[in-house]
């Protein structure tokens, strides 16, 4: 007759711990495998003949596009001001040269530096026509990427969405899910050990017999 044994309790506890590991360990493994967030700096836009209100709104829109990506480390205006003076920034924005942007990236220890230069070329005083370029400098490759822009400010939304898709989202690191196999191997091992323990327990009690059964000697 089979009886309950302490080994059953141990097996249940081990099975529970294994199931818990299957749920939590993969998550921890994925967290360790997260790629490094690129350091990004937006140093501003050089404007010509553009109303101050439009300049302010445009800068804020670019900052919003960058900050909408959680997997980027965006340097604040204060951090940029601590390491760069306004003349350095102004020179890079006006020249649009790779060498000037490289110096900014090195001083900021940034992986990517965004900037640009735009001029209002509208002949209508009631409208703003922004013509110029937005720039992304990639420090590792030493590349200066240019996004040409020629649009009335009131119609610039689609252009900014294209800029985000092609010049911001392309530097966001991709997170790949990584499944781990070893928790399932642990579970299989625990189950096998439990089956062996049960087998030994049943065999043990089978060999001992039922304590309530007493053999009656034959009477001669």
Per-residue confidence of the chain (220 residues) as pLDDT tens digits?
Answer: 445 555 556 655 555 655 565 555 555 444 455 778 999 999 999 999 999 999 999 999 999 999 999 999 999 999 999 999 999 999 999 999 999 999 999 999 999 999 999 999 999 999 999 999 999 999 999 999 999 999 999 999 999 999 999 999 999 998 655 555 555 565 566 566 656 666 655 565 555 555 444 444 444 4
Number of domains in the chain: 1
CATH code assigned at 67 = 3.40.50.10070
Contact 79, 73 (CB under 8 A): no
Q: Is residue 29 part of a domain?
A: no
How far is it, in rounded angstroms, from Cα 72 to Cα 107?
A: 19
**pTM of this prediction?**
0.68
Q: Is residue 210 part of a domain?
A: no
Q: Is residue 104 part of a domain?
A: yes
Q: Is residue 89 part of a domain?
A: yes
Q: Is residue 181 part of a domain?
A: no
- Per the structure, the complete domain to which residue 97 belongs is given by 39-171
How far is it, in rounded angstroms, from Cα 67 to Cα 186?
A: 42
């Amino acid at each position: 007759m089979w009886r309950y044994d302490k080994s059953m309790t141990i097996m249940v506890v081990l099975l529970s711990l294994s199931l818990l590991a299957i749920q939590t360990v993969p998550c921890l493994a994925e967290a360790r495998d997260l790629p490094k967030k690129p350091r990004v700096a937006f140093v501003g836009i050089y404007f010509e003949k553009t109303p101050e209100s439009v300049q302010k709104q445009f800068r804020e829109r670019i900052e919003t596009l960058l900050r909408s990506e959680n997997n980027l480390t965006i340097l604040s205006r204060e951090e940029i001001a601590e390491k760069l003076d306004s003349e350095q920034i102004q020179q890079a924005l006006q020249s649009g040269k790779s060498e000037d942007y490289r110096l900014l990236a090195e001083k900021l220890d940034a992986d990517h530096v965004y900037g640009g230069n735009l001029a209002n070329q509208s002949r209508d005083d009631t409208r703003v026509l922004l013509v110029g370029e937005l720039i992304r400098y990639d420090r590792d490759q030493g590349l200066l990427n240019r996004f040409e822009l020629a649009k009335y400010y009131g119609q610039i939304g689609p252009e900014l969405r294209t800029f985000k898709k092609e010049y911001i989202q392309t530097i966001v690191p991709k997170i790949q899910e990584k499944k781990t196999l070893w928790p399932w191997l642990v579970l299989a091992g625990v189950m096998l050990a439990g089956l062996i323990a049960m087998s030994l327990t049943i065999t043990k009690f089978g060999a001992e017999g039922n304590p309530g059964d007493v053999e009656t000697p034959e009477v001669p």
